[in-house]
Amino acid sequence: MAKWPYNTTVWQKLRRLKLQLEPFCEECLGIDRFVEASHVDHRHAISQGGDPFPSVDQLASLCPSCHSAKTARGPEAGAVRTRKPRKGCNPDGSPLDPHHPWAANNRARRLFGKSGHRH
């Protein structure tokens, strides 16, 4: 197994740089959520032969939840893909789950406006 870099000054600087460049969780941004990232993950796992100190484009900024989910799935699984409804809401208050009744109401309102007639 490769030597773990996490307690080195080089890693701490690389981690700080990645979080400065991409302060939001990359997985959450994919579903239009703005969640602050506090974890930096190797796109190619060190245990699978990845570089312990890669370029910043080979690192991912993640929130604790997405990092835990990715780690639990293992290196071969890739991004989170689920049909399970997402709990919570966007900054504007709209639900994250596109099938939530309120989300359906918002889609209808955008299509038909308050009058109920299509624009």
Mean pLDDT of the chain: 78
- The pLDDT value recorded for residue 1 is 38
- The more confidently predicted of residues 9 and 47 is 9
What's residue 70's pLDDT?
Answer: 82
**Contact call for residues 29 and 42 (beta carbons, < 8 A):** no
Residue 44: band (very low, low, confident or very high) from pLDDT cuts 50, 70, 90: confident
Average pLDDT estimate for 44-53:
86
Spatial CA neighbour of 24 closest among 14, 34, 12 = 34
More confident site: 77 or 26: 26
Q: Is the pLDDT of residue 21 over 80?
A: yes
Please give the angle made by the CA atoms of 26, 27 and 32, to the nearest 5 degrees: 90
